[in-house]
Amino acid sequence: MAEISFDADRRGWVLSGESSTYALRLDEDDVPTHVFWGPKLTAAEVRELDTETRPWWDGFNDPDEGIGELAADGGTRYWTPALQVRFGDGTRALEWRYQDHEITGPHLEIRFADRHYPLRVSLHYRLRGDVVERWTELSADTDVEVVRADSATWALPVSDDYRLSHVTGRWAAETQLRRVSAPHGETVFASRRGITGHHANPWVMVDDGTATERHGEVYGVALAWSGSWRLTTTRASTGRLTVSGGFGQDGVTHRVGPGRPLRTPVMAGLYTRGGFGAASRAWHAYVREHVLPHPGELRPVLYNSWEATGFDVTEAGQRALAERAAALGVELFVMDDGWFGARTGDHAGLGDWHVNRERFPDGLKPLVATVHGLGMRFGIWVEPEMVNPDSDLYRAHPDRVLHHPHRRRSELRNQLVLNFARADVAAWAHEWLDRLVGEHGVDFLKWDMNRPFSEAGWPGDDDPDRLWTEHTDAVYALMDRLRADHPGLRIEACAGGGGRLDLGVLARADQVWTSDNTDTLDRLRIQHGFGQLYPARAMSAWVTDNPSFVTARSAPLRFRFHVAMAGVLGVGGDIVHWSDEDLAFAREMIALYRDIRPVVQLGALYRLRPPADDGVTALQYVHEDRVVVFAYRQAAHFNDPARPLRLDGLDPAHRYLDPDSGRTHSGAVLLAHGLPLGLPTGDFSSAVIRLQRKI
């Protein structure tokens, strides 16, 4: 049970999670100082830790540097700052003065003020099992410039070595896992794009270089923010490493003053001692139970029309796809781009969110009624934050986009970015989205965002930098308001694929479009990186046509289904032209997925063999008394003999029934020896194996 206690004698706090402990204290100068983060300790045991401030041993190296709970700039503190302020007279240094604290259940707030200037700082901690959520609030009675305001500084135990795990990528190649030794000095992972970004993701895991999938201590931190962000790891010669993170970027400042407080986004931290696998399972449980809007809800099998129709959208064509999708067992039909304005390509119409009457003479209601009549929910694609210069909206309101008065407005995908920090733009977006959802019975929005910021100016505003955070805040507020007004509405976040993936958007979106790349071999790696932090319950994965439009590679339909079934299954091919044989197989696979869906979407993930250049990769989900194993042979070389696959997470004292073969297996044997896979020979062979624990 999570508990927070206060030690008045030592002016310290102990946050006790289910299997871990986090502790901090005030030093002699009231500076909030890190004490411990790691395996479970009692409050009495924390008191035994050496927390004395050590004197300087020379004029250059402070032995206590790197243990600030929110490393503030100023004085002789030279560590990477998490908080930098500039007062009206030019003073930069912050001097902490403790005010008081409040513990409310699993929430701790510690309040400080500057010793001279009217600036107040509150540090917040909230326990969610073994996850510690942290954020910072700033307020002031006079205007203060905030150069940097991170959510937290995380101090790790002193170690001989540190290794960083993180993901990198680009469009159509997101979430590629990397593990590297932590360099000395500062290493920055960041996005300056106004969105989370394809090239990196706001989380990092740290170990001592010896952790494996099953063994070793792992520390992880993740930021809940969908705009520009920054994580900085700092490794010193003294043998300490910290991670500091928050929203913002170099050169962009915040202003705090009367009526203008600043609250940073949540940054979550997690310690586990069971290797990277245990870390991922703990993160997945946290996201499902405390982040996603409907934690126990199963995501439906969807069909998306984009790859079948592109911009060539007609009512008759969508009806034909819907009828075929319903016959396959699809539960949610999503019409993609091309239904509105003059939208016959990506060059025009974006921003004119009214139904194209040439394509839908009687509006959308007849199509929605057809989809509902077929027993499916209806979804639709929108891109609220963008506008084409060739649109009625832009011609009427060219000032509504991000721009500088004497600079060219850079276009990407023939688009400009609307300034959602403006109240009139946010109100306009809510009006048409509320009407679209309410008047048509829309059940699902695919919310896209297909380009990053550029020329991010706001002419005429006295604080133009605020658009960098307030744009994201406005998107959050709009999603929250739509969901509150339409409780049945569900949302998929998308930004050219996986460009908006983080804990912040997952608090408003039910799932994320993982990548525009549906090539199966690439997806194995993309999904492997995605699953390091985020659960399968949020990972959209489609079966599309051969060849892949990204790689021009073809794979068997069976393999394509099996790869997509490891997440939230969708179909995105031109099913009107599929053969009867392929349609029959698709029905079989969708029925299988609907059977195993609770295990995949709610179960614990075990990565049995990670993706490699060839050979077999495998993963396993366990939920209650059911197990699902996915195995994929990417390429076969030299007639390598098949070997059994050792499973994980089973009860060795029980037996497990394979309902498809009728065989039963000892849990102990599956753990110690393995499961015969029986994969067909050759490349692109795969299997989905169901096991049921016998009681």
Partners of 185 in the β-ladder: 235
pLDDT at 346: 95
pLDDT, mean of residues 532-548:
98
Banded pLDDT at 154 (limits 50, 70, 90): very high
pLDDT, mean of residues 670-676:
97
Q: How far apart are the first and last CA of the chain?
A: 29
Partners of 218 in the β-ladder: 272
In this structure, the strands spanning 511-513 and 539-543 are parallel
Give one DSSP letter per residue of 160-190, joined into a string: S--EEEEEE--TTS--EEEEEEPPSEEEEEE
pLDDT in tens, 455-497: 999 999 999 999 999 999 999 999 999 999 999 999 999 999 9
Q: Report which of 93, 135, 134 is spatially closest to residue 114, judged by C-alpha positions.
A: 93
pLDDT in tens, 68-79: 999 999 888 889
Indicate which residue of 130, 150, 352, 448 is catalytic.
Answer: 448
Residue 339: both structure tokens together? 């239904």
pLDDT at 486: 98
pLDDT, mean of residues 177-193:
97
Burial class (CB in 10 A: 0-12, 13-18, 19+), 379: buried
Indicate which residue of 150, 352, 516, 519 is catalytic.
Answer: 516
pTM of the model: 0.97
Task: Report whether pLDDT(450) > 80.
Answer: yes
pLDDT, mean of residues 608-632:
94
Binding-site sequence positions: 171, 336-337, 413, 446-450, 494, 516
Banded pLDDT at 304 (limits 50, 70, 90): very high
pLDDT at 60: 80
pLDDT at 565: 98
pLDDT in tens, 12-35: 999 999 999 999 999 999 999 999
Binding-site sequence positions for substrate: 171, 336-337, 413, 446-450, 494, 516
Per the annotation, the verdict on 516 as an active-site residue is yes
What are the chain's domains? Answer: 72-291 (2.70.98.60), 302-602 (3.20.20.70), 609-693 (2.60.40.1180)
Task: Report whether pLDDT(647) > 70.
Answer: yes
pLDDT at 57: 67
Q: Report which of 144, 260, 241 is spatially closest to residue 183, judged by C-alpha positions.
A: 241
Residue 220 near residue 533 (C-beta atoms within 8 A)? yes
Query: Who's near 302: CB < 8 A, 6+ residues apart?
Result: 330, 331, 332, 333, 334, 379, 444, 540, 568, 569, 570, 571
pLDDT, mean of residues 636-642:
78
Could you give the 3-state DSSP secondary structure of residue 98? strand
Token pair 């995908």 is at which residue?
A: 413
pLDDT, mean of residues 166-176:
98
Residue 272 near residue 130 (C-beta atoms within 8 A)? yes
- C-alpha–C-alpha distance, residues 614 and 632, integer Å: 10
- C-alpha–C-alpha distance, residues 3 and 6, integer Å: 10
pLDDT, mean over the chain: 96
Could you give the 3-state DSSP secondary structure of residue 381? strand
pLDDT at 183: 96
In this structure, the strands spanning 131-140 and 262-263 are antiparallel
pLDDT at 681: 83
Question: One-letter amino acid identity for 685?
Answer: S
Per the annotation, the verdict on 208 as an active-site residue is no
Task: Report whether pLDDT(584) > 70.
Answer: yes
Question: One-letter amino acid identity for 311?
Answer: F
Banded pLDDT at 239 (limits 50, 70, 90): confident
Task: Report whether pLDDT(651) > 80.
Answer: yes
Walk across the sheet containing 83-86 and list its strands.
83-86, 144-149, 254-256
pLDDT at 528: 98
pLDDT at 61: 76
Q: Report percent pLDDT > 90 for the chain.
A: 93
